[in-house]
Amino acid sequence: MTDRPALLIRNAQILLPDGTFLQGDVWIDGDRIHRVAPEIDATDVGEIAREIDATGLTLLPGAIDPQVHFREPGLEYKEDLRTASHACAKGGVTSFLEMPNTKPLTTTQATLQDKLDRAASKCVVNYGFFIGATAEGLPDLLTANPVCGIKIFMGSMHGDLLVDEEPVLDRLFGMGQDPDRPGHGRLIAVHAENQARIRQRREQFAGITDPAIHSQIQDNQAALEATQLALKLSRKHRRRLHILHMSTGDEAILMRQEKPAWVTCEVTPQHLLLDVGAYETIGTFAQMNPPLRSPEDCAILWQALLDGVIDFIATDHAPHTLEEKAQPYPNSPSGMPGVQTSLPLMLTQAAQGRCTVAQVMQWMSSNVARGFGIPNKGAIAPGLDADLVLVDLKTYRPVLREEMLSKCGWSPFEGWNLTGWPVYTIVGGQVAYEQGQINEAARGRALTFEPAT
Ligand code: DOR
């Protein structure tokens, strides 16, 4: 027990680790959950800093988003760690794992440390960072700490972070597999698209400005081929592998048949809930990598998620400004923001009967904590970190551009009527978001990661 005054959440519908709900109270002591019970007697608690009356609200573990691009340092005109973390807090995301395609690239301990320092000074939620692989395979790939994994762009990237040749990938997948050396078991996360195929199809379809062509240029085959290669190399080297933003039914079928126990994969809400029809309504704002697919692909991805073939939901939050996105294809950049809407989008699916709230929280919290070896997170139980979100599952409200806290100031889901919006978000026992207001004084912490054994 700490000597800090307690935070008490009263009368919430609490999601327990076994997927059932308890109507009751949660006592938070410092940064940890101390007790979960039908009723906590205030006289047991001692000094109480604050009580939150959660009548009518549902208490969930905070979401952990395993793939975001927050643009700092170097591209702060699109987003920065402060604005992105505010969007997280308002969306119920209490921890994020961020990608290395910033300026400079995050490829060394020094550039990683710079990001950690920046995050410590301004993030209201917890943070972790990937280190980026380059063809050189810098030594820091295995020794830099703390990192959640090594990111490899097999496609859809230019410059030093593109690693698209099989012999180089083979070498990277084989690095650090000695149990007595640093970096043993370090996770590799791949953006799986076959760059050679994309290059060739870009030439084939050159001159077409309808953004729908994007899904044909970077087609299902390009994604499938790269995922097949990553799986092959992971098996060869027994390398812990994570497939980022899986987008096609073809890959989901492959995973259902062949996924080894040490491989995980994720899908984004965009690839579940939007399809190629979105180009007609929002044009280049629907452009992302890997691209949106057919309704049949969405259906197969959904089934794979429900069946446990797909492990996590990630947003691939990739903000670009309205001006950038409004340029005609192919000058428009790929990517959409997502951290503020992912939890309500998925909870709305649960409210409409497509899945359960407990499944959503497995995909968005407990499975992510387990898959990345993040200790003490992903569930509501005594002793675990007090990263929590109180959501309102009774009210529907539309996604409004003016309520988006991401610096880019738009969402591909504008106008969608959603339930499950956060009312309070708690990060390490601090109220980071409350009824429309960010607590600018709250601070997240650097996440730690236990290597796969
Ligand atoms: O659409 C995308 N945009 N996909 C990625 O993986 C990268 C991202 C970006 O950084 O803009």
Q: Using only the alpha carbons of the chain, give its radius of gyration.
A: 21
Distance of CA 109 to the CA centre of its chain: 23
Q: Going by DSSP bridges, is the β-strand pair 21-29/241-243 parallel, antiparallel, or unpaired? A: unpaired
What are the DSSP calls for 316-365, one per residue? Answer: -B----HHHHTSPTTTSPP----TTTHHHHHHHHHHTTSS-HHHHHIIII
Confidence (pLDDT) at 451: 76
Task: Write down the number of H helices and E strands in the chain.
Answer: 16, 19
Confidence (pLDDT) at 183: 65
Distances in Å between the Cα of 324 and the Cα atoms of 330, 336, 342 are 11, 12, 23
Confidence (pLDDT) at 4: 79
- C-alpha 393 to ligand 1 mean position (Å): 31
- C-alpha 94 to ligand 1 mean position (Å): 22
Count of Cβ atoms closer than 10 Å to residue 11 Cβ: 17
Distances in Å between the Cα of 106 and the Cα atoms of 144, 193, 292 are 10, 21, 27
Which residue is catalytic, options 29, 140, 275, 316?
316
**What distance in Å separates the CA atoms of residue 314 and residue 363, rounded to the nearest whole number?**
9
Ligand 1 atom having least distance to the Cα of 153: 6
All domains in the chain, ordered by first residue: 6-59+381-402+413-438 (2.30.40.10), 63-371 (3.20.20.140)
The DSSP output letter for 285 is G
What are the DSSP calls for 374-392, one per residue? Answer: -TT-SS--TTSB--EEEEE
Please give the model's pTM, rounded to 2 decimal places.
0.98
- C-alpha 66 to ligand 1 mean position (Å): 14
- 241-267 in b/e burial notation, b at 16+ Cβ within 10 A? bbbbbbbbbbbbebbeeebeeebbbbb
Handedness of CA 326, 331, 335, 337 (dihedral sign): negative
Confidence (pLDDT) at 298: 98
Structure token pair of residue 58: 């549902």
Structure token pair of residue 321: 């400004």
Q: Going by DSSP bridges, is the β-strand pair 421-427/126-132 parallel, antiparallel, or unpaired? A: unpaired
- C-alpha 8 to ligand 1 mean position (Å): 40
Q: Atom 9, ligand 1: which residue's CA is nearest?
A: 318
Q: Atom 6, ligand 1: which residue's CA is nearest?
A: 289
Distance of CA 324 to the CA centre of its chain: 23
**What distance in Å separates the CA atoms of residue 387 and residue 378, rounded to the nearest whole number?**
8
pLDDT per residue of the chain (453 residues) written in tens, 0 to 9: 787 789 999 999 999 999 999 999 999 999 999 999 999 999 999 898 899 999 999 999 999 999 999 999 999 999 999 999 999 999 999 999 999 999 999 999 999 999 999 999 999 999 999 999 999 877 899 999 999 999 999 999 999 999 999 999 999 999 977 766 666 789 999 999 999 999 999 999 999 999 999 999 999 999 999 999 999 999 999 999 999 999 999 999 999 999 999 999 999 999 999 999 999 999 999 999 999 999 999 999 999 999 999 999 999 999 999 999 999 999 999 999 999 999 999 999 999 999 999 999 999 999 999 999 999 999 999 999 999 999 999 999 999 999 999 999 999 999 999 999 999 999 999 999 999 999 999 999 999 999 765
Substitution site in 288, 329, 336, 407 for ligand 1 pocket (most atoms within 8 Å of beta carbon): 288
Ligand 1: residues whose CB is within 6 Å?
69, 101, 156, 191, 288-289, 316, 318, 334-335
Structure token pair of residue 323: 């001006």
- C-alpha 446 to ligand 1 mean position (Å): 23
Q: Please report how the helices 81-91 and 109-122 are oriented relative to each other, as an axis angle in degrees rounded to 10.
A: 60
Q: Do the beta carbons of residue 15 and residue 350 sit within 8 Å?
A: no
Structure token pair of residue 174: 């084989």
The one-letter amino acid code at 283 reads G
Substitution site in 156, 285, 324 for ligand 1 pocket (most atoms within 8 Å of beta carbon): 156
Q: What are the helix (H) ranges across 50-108?
A: 81-91
Ligand 1 atom having least distance to the Cα of 67: 6
Active site residue 170: no
